[in-house]
Amino acid sequence: MITPRTTRLVRVPDLYTFRQATVDLACSGTPFEARNRLVVVPTRAAAAYLLRSIESRLPASDGALALPDLVTPGELAARLGERLLHHPVLLTDTEREVLAGVACRTAIDEGSAPPFRLRAGLIAEMMRFYDTLQRHLKSVDTFERLTLGALEPGAAEDRGAERLVRQTRFLVGAFRHFERLLETTGGMDEHALRRRLVGEPAPDPWRHVVLAVGDDASDRHGLCPADWDLLTRVPGLERIDLVATDAMVAGAFHARIHRLLPGIEETRLAIDGRRPPPVLLVPPGGGLTHTARDREEEVAGFARWVRREVRSTDAGAISDVNRMALVVRHPLPYVYLAREVLSAAGIPSQMFDALPLASEPHAAALDVVIDFVRGNFGRRPAIALLRSPHFRFVPGRLPPSLLRSFGAPRKPATTSEGEVASALDPVDVAVLDRALSDAGYLGDIETLERLVAAWREQKPGSRPGGLRAAEVVLDAARQLAPLRSAAPCAAQLAHLLAFLRRHEHLPRADDPLRPRQLRGRAAVLDALTGLRDAYARFDQLAVDFDAVAAVIRRWIDAHTFAPRIGEDGVHLVDAESARFGDFEGVQLAGLIDGEWPDTPRRNIFYPPALLRELGWPAETERLDGVRASFSDLLRLPSSRLVVSTFTLEDDAIVAASTLVDALPGAGLDTSEVGSPPVRIFDYEALGLDPVETRPLGSLAVAAAARRIEAIRTRRAGATGGHEMAAYSLNALERYQDCPFKFFAADVLRLEEPPEDEPMLSPRARGRFVHEVFQRFFEEWDARGHGTITVDRVDEARALFQDVAGPLLARFSEAEAMLERARLFGTAVSIGIVDVVLGLEASRPAPVRERWLEYRLEGPFSLGVPGGPRIPVKGVADRIDLLDGDRLRVIDYKSGYAPNPKRALQAPIYALCAQERLAERDGRPWRIDEAAYVAFAGKRPLVPVVRPGAADADEVLRSARTRVMDVVDGIGRGEFPPRPYDPRICSYCAYPSVCRKDYVGDD
């Protein structure tokens, strides 16, 4: 039975009276009436603000007053359903999507294939489309009739229309199967509930509904036509009050509301104390809006204003930061920015808004595990898993005696919470990272097993330090390996959940981030559990892990998370919720095109004209709603208003919103912000002249003082003097390239991050090539073959093959094939062996003695007897001692040869060898040649000192001078980021630590 009801449109002039009227209506009458009253507000944040207003009205002694129920439009049907005799449990969104997936497959099996590839995200979009149809009171039959009626006539000639027809048939088929599945499984969703609510009186119905929202045509949080229809027909409801400002009903909403609620009466609530509009604070020098460079600067501007108000002694100044708000159209990215900027300015803040769950640390931790499985347990995801603070892995598979041989404690340490602490050391993880990279490990559990087995067989002293970490990775990979085979989604999710729970590492009890992290963890685990249960109930199809990962990621991306940040301080609030807040000062921020008003969400299935046929609201109605809302917000604060925009979004120029055109006609008095800028951030205190360190914390003051003194007295990039026991030529060349690069690699000993190579790493290949040449020449010389001449090249090549064979056998088949091709060439390329033998044969100097991989270590005067001696260390690839007391130095480069004018290795090795030979033989030796043989680039032979060249002494002197200069620079502690050519920065490993942005500032 439908009961008669009173429907009223309560009109109010502004947001102040809107809030008063809503509170009055929410609290009116007896406690019994309040208990049967629903107040519909746009968001949970709005509900929290309204509740504060209600509580502020209550006398202190009246704390037990019954409050109405505050709901959002999305919760309305379910809350009405709670009063039914057997109140239904609605299917969750997860369960509906799983059912929709089954329905889609059935539709495809029956021949209605969609013109697109079905993915988890598309199924979600389909359900959104289905819900919107239902909320606009369009059944599947009506959708089919209207859509096919519009599309079929042109489908024969128009391929686009024909595609839409196929899409419509698929959607219709899937939606019908979905509704059938709902019936057969006994599930109920919001649409079925609305039908039940209309036909089944509740024994104790809700009797009064107060609406503080508009309709969904003009308000993105408004009620849909199905809700308006429900409110007019649900039995037992006696009264509906819709509260709306004059701005809201000034446009088409007025006519629509009379259509949606036939017979609605209009009234004005008499509310005392209408207050004057706020003063608009404008920037000095003209204009009504404050324009910042970007969002961050805009929030910084808000922080400055807050500080100015709080410090001001003006009569009208706002002294309480709790009464100020930053109001934005879209909370993202302001929720993150505001937290950073406001806390940097020392301003407390509070926000109710939901944050994306995907940005919570636990969601990132879940991603790490997913990547580990999808990446086939490869090096990068494996190391990321070991380094994640959200997991704790204890090496447990090794026998204790073996563990102790790696330095593990005899008894596992325990934390304050009594947990067994991880014995895994971060150093082990770093070592494993390097070892896996050097081994060319790209994933695959069998390869990992082989590697770990090989490392375990090595003697204790020579085992890689990261073996314990490798054991952990292998153990984790074995636990997750079942996920790499197809299985029902529920089983895969259960397996994943078990892994997460087994290895999770919760923050310590005294960790300030613990509450938030625990809530984030609970939200992630809830999402996974909900998915597992939904699939277990409705869909047992076996799928591979990629499909499971797509479903998980879609759900995590779609979920939000409400951490309730801050208890007091300035408010960060979205425009709809702000209507319910009581503020003295408000900044309307982010007034850019595409945000105020926002760009409408695009429907991916049909064009706007067809959607209008299906009941989608017109764009003009939406824009009217945004304008009305903006006009209301201009009078939201009781005292002061600021309106701001910005010009750069991600380096793209953005235009100001057209809504700012409404400011001149808003009837607001203006006042110029005249106070001088206030320094509120540390960077301002330190970066502006004169430097002001007083506002910084004591630790920062001390650090800043040291830094200021260092800048005043010394040049950038300087440290205390540095001396090395011995200088490797590689390190000296590094300093020559860029002093900071030397500092990072050789003083700080920062390791370059390992890279995944599809085959051998460059370092491993270099070692291999050097070893092959060393073995070849040793064998050649041992056989007494002497000089390699043209007629002995074939013999040399054959020996090379004999020598290389056993070395190549160490590699996998694919790696060996590739390295063999590099050494011996292919039909289209010349091999390294042929390059070297060709060079040897073209200059057949008789070699008296050959030093291979010859270690040069100790103090050398580098060609100036009696001069200062430099401690040098290095290994020369090859030093040939020729007839006539001449020597030749050859250095092999697996890549390109260095620029001969900058090269140090070949000439300095030659000088060292010359010195050593003179000491040995008691007579002088002459440097005949120093050259590089490069296996990449156009020139295989790059000489530094040419045989018989007149400038040989000059070249060697220059190399010595450069070495002395470099050693002096190191001794003085000069390590500025000063690349000899800025292009080397693009492949340098240290750009993140050297502040290379400042290169060239001196």
The residues that touch ligand SF4, with contacts defined as CB under 6 A, are: 738, 740-741, 977, 979, 984-985, 988, 990-991, 994, 996, 999
Residue closer to ligand SF4 (CB basis): 436 or 999: 999
Whichever of 70 and 999 has its CB closer to ligand SF4, that residue is 999
- Please, which residues have CB within 8 angstroms of residue 737's CB and are 6 or more apart in sequence? 979, 980, 984
Angle between helix axes 729-737 and 952-972 (nearest 10 degrees) is 80
Beta bridge partners of 8: 241, 265
| Cβ proximity to ligand SF4, 372 vs 990, nearer residue | 990
Least distance between ligand SF4 and beta carbon 762 (Å): 18
End-to-end CA distance of the chain: 85
Nearer to ligand SF4, 464 or 739 (CB): 739
Task: In angstroms, give the least distance from the CB of 896 to ligand SF4.
Answer: 17
Instruction: Report the C-alpha gap between 604 and 622 in whole angstroms.
Output: 19
Provide, rounded to whole angstroms, the least separation between the CB of residue 1002 and ligand SF4: 12
Quick one: 91 or 999, whose CB is closer to ligand SF4? 999
CB 973, min distance to ligand SF4, A: 16
Nearest to ligand SF4 of 729, 994 (CB atom) = 994
Min. distance of Cβ 983 from ligand SF4 in angstroms?
Answer: 9
Pick between residue 575 and residue 745 the one whose CB is nearest to ligand SF4.
Answer: 745
- Residue with the closest Cβ to ligand SF4? 988
Q: CB nearer to ligand SF4: give 124 or 738.
A: 738
Q: How far is the CB of 723 from ligand SF4 (least distance, A)?
A: 21
Find the helix or strand (DSSP H, E) in which 81 lies. helix 73-81
| 567, 570, 572, 578: CA torsion to nearest 10 | 100
> Cβ 749 to ligand SF4, closest distance in Å?
14
Alpha carbon separation from 749 to 396, 425, 746, 804 (Å, rounded): 32, 19, 5, 34
At how many degrees (to 10) do helices 793-808 and 813-824 cross? 160
Both tokens assigned to 463: 């085992």
- In the block, tokens 């990629």 appear at 546
What's the CA gap between 509 and 273, in Å, rounded?
50
Q: Are strands 279-282 and 670-672 parallel, antiparallel or unpaired?
A: parallel
Q: Hey, what long-range contacts does 110-115 have (CB within 8 A, 24 or more apart)?
A: 110/173, 112/166, 112/169, 112/170, 112/172, 112/173, 112/174, 113/166, 113/170, 114/166, 114/167, 114/170, 114/171, 115/163, 115/166, 115/167, 115/170
Give one DSSP letter per residue of 235-278, joined into a string: TT--EEEEEEEHHHHTSTHHHHHHHHSTT-EEEE---S---PPP
Strand partners, 847: 882
Q: Residue 383, SS3?
A: helix
CA geometry: angle 360, 364, 369, nearest 5 deg:
150
Residue with smaller CB distance to ligand SF4, 788 or 999: 999
Q: Which amino acid is at 241?
A: D
Instruction: With beta carbons less than 8 A apart as the criterion, state whether 920 and 943 touch.
Output: no
Residue 750: CB minimum distance to ligand SF4, A: 10
- Whichever of 625 and 977 has its CB closer to ligand SF4, that residue is 977
Sequence-distant (≥ 6) Cβ neighbours of residue 161 within 8 angstroms? 151, 152, 154, 155
Distances (CA, A) of 373 to 369, 468, 485: 6, 20, 11
Work out how close the CB of 977 gets to ligand SF4 at its nearest, in angstroms, rounded to a whole number: 4
* CA atoms of 5 and 236, how far apart (whole Å): 9
Token code pair at residue 600? 């409408």
Copy the structure tokens of residue 924.
């002088």
Strand locations in 620-723, DSSP E? 640-646, 648-649, 652-653, 670-672
Smallest distance, Å, CB 984 to ligand SF4?
5
The residue (of 299 and 988) whose beta carbon lies closer to ligand SF4 is: 988
- Provide the minimum distance between the beta carbon of 976 and ligand SF4 in the complex, in angstroms, as a whole number: 9
Q: How far is the CB of 748 from ligand SF4 (least distance, A)?
A: 11
116 or 998: CB nearest ligand SF4: 998
Q: Which is closer to ligand SF4, CB of 453 or CB of 984?
A: 984
Query: Of 182 and 903, which CB lies nearer to ligand SF4 in the complex structure?
Result: 903
C-alpha span between 388 and 374 (Å, rounded): 17
CB of 745 to ligand SF4, least distance (A): 9
Q: Minimal distance in Å, beta carbon 711 to ligand SF4?
A: 19
- Closest approach, Cβ 806 to ligand SF4, in A, equals 40
Closest CA to 768 of 803, 795, 741, 792: 803
What is the C-alpha separation between 714 and 708, in angstroms, rounded? 10
Nearer to ligand SF4, 414 or 719 (CB): 719
Instruction: Tell me how far, at minimum, the Cβ of 996 lies from ligand SF4, in Å.
Output: 4
Nearer to ligand SF4, 743 or 811 (CB): 743
Token pair for residue 278?
């706020």
Quick one: DSSP state of residue 599? P
Minimum CB separation from ligand SF4 for residue 457, in Å?
Answer: 39
Distance, CA of 570 to CA of 561 (rounded, Å): 21
- What is the token pair recorded at 943? 């000489």
Backbone angles phi, psi at 141, to 5 degrees: -60, -45
Q: How far is the CB of 761 from ligand SF4 (least distance, A)?
A: 20
If the CB atoms of residues 363 and 988 are measured against ligand SF4, the closer one turns out to be 988
Closest by Cα among 794, 710, 627, 716 to 214? 627
Based on CB atoms, which residue is closest to ligand SF4, 182 or 744? 744
Helix (H, G, I), strand (E, B) or coil at 1: coil
Task: Give the span between the Cα atoms of 520 and 564, in whole angstroms.
Answer: 12
Cα torsion 448, 454, 457, 459: sign: negative
